[in-house]
């Protein structure tokens, strides 16, 4: 009897292919029955006592989870969804843009201050983007101090940073995300649309560590612009 059992066991083992350790057993949750194949429509697994045997439908058929068997392809509900892993493309700062700005590292972040005054927020933002960054977004007091220090260290009169109310009057947002400014520290008397001109951008001067509203396209201001990169 013992010999008979052993022979029977051997026969079963030769019939049902054990699944390797690397592949999770498709019959782990199904003791007896059929399980769809994860990456093929015309294959499925036959489970017998949690042992999986891979089977293939005939050429014109697909496995159907509804019918629990092979059916003509047009009757099958099989859809294989493959998850594509998004590829993060490394950004390389543009060589020509790098010549236009001075680079600084502060607490794991990279900032750039332009050597020339800004002509428009859009042009400045484009240069920042070519450096894998954006017009500096001042998120807190410590970042504000970094911005101010960069202005002083570079003998600049001031610098344009991110933030605008051009989309909605008096609603200050970051242009790239349209997210509202979380940190706002206007200097006394600001924002003031100085001289009756709509000042829809944000800048800092060398005089104070606080924000001014400033024209996005100044004629001549002497202000530079600062980019930030994560």
Q: Interface residues with Ca ion (CB under 5 A)?
A: 137, 139, 192, 194, 199, 212-213
**Torsion, CA 135, CA 139, CA 144, CA 145, rounded to 10:** -120
Closest to Ca ion by CB, 95 or 169: 169
Closest to Ca ion by CB, 67 or 194: 194
Q: What whole-number distance in Å separates Cα of residue 129 and Cα of residue 202? A: 18
- Residue 18, classified by CB atoms within 10 Å of its CB into exposed (0-12), middle (13-18) or buried (19+), is exposed
Closest to Ca ion by CB, 102 or 229: 229
Q: Least separation, in Å, of the C-beta of 125 and Ca ion?
A: 14
Q: Least separation, in Å, of the C-beta of 176 and Ca ion?
A: 11
State the DSSP code for 211: B
Q: Least separation, in Å, of the C-beta of 214 and Ca ion?
A: 6
**Torsion, CA 112, CA 118, CA 121, CA 122, rounded to 10:** -90
Q: Least separation, in Å, of the C-beta of 40 and Ca ion?
A: 48
CA 150 to each of CA 153, 181, 194, 227, 229: distance values in angstroms, whole numbers, following the listed order: 5, 21, 25, 11, 15
- The SS3 call for residue 85 is coil
Q: Least separation, in Å, of the C-beta of 198 and Ca ion?
A: 10
Closest to Ca ion by CB, 7 or 197: 197
Closest to Ca ion by CB, 10 or 197: 197
The first and second tokens of residue 54, run together, are: 């891979």
């Amino acid at each position: 009897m013992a010999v008979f059992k052993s022979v029977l066991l051997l026969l079963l083992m030769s019939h049902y292919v054990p699944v390797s350790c690397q592949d999770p057993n498709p019959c782990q949750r199904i003791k007896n029955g059929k399980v769809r194949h994860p990456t093929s429509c015309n294959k499925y697994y036959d489970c017998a006592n949690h042992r999986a045997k891979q089977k293939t439908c005939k050429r014109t058929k697909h496995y159907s989870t509804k019918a629990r068997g092979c059916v003509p392809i047009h009757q099958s509900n099989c859809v294989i969804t493959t998850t594509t892993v998004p590829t993060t493309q490394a950004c390389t700062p543009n060589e020509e843009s790098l010549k236009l700005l001075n680079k600084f590292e502060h607490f794991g972040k990279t900032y750039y201050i332009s050597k020339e005054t800004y002509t428009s927020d859009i042009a400045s933002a484009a240069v920042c983007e070519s450096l894998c960054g954006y017009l500096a977004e001042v998120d807190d007091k410590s970042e504000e101090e970094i911005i101010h220090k960069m202005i002083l260290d570079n003998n600049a009169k001031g610098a344009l940073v991110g933030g605008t109310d051009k989309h909605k009057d008096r609603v200050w947002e970051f242009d790239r995300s349209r997210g509202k400014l979380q940190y706002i520290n206007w200097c006394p008397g600001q924002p003031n649309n100085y001289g009756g001109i709509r000042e829809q951008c944000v800048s800092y001067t060398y005089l104070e560590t606080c924000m001014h509203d400033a024209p996005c396209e100044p004629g001549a201001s002497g202000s530079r612009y600062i980019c930030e990169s994560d």
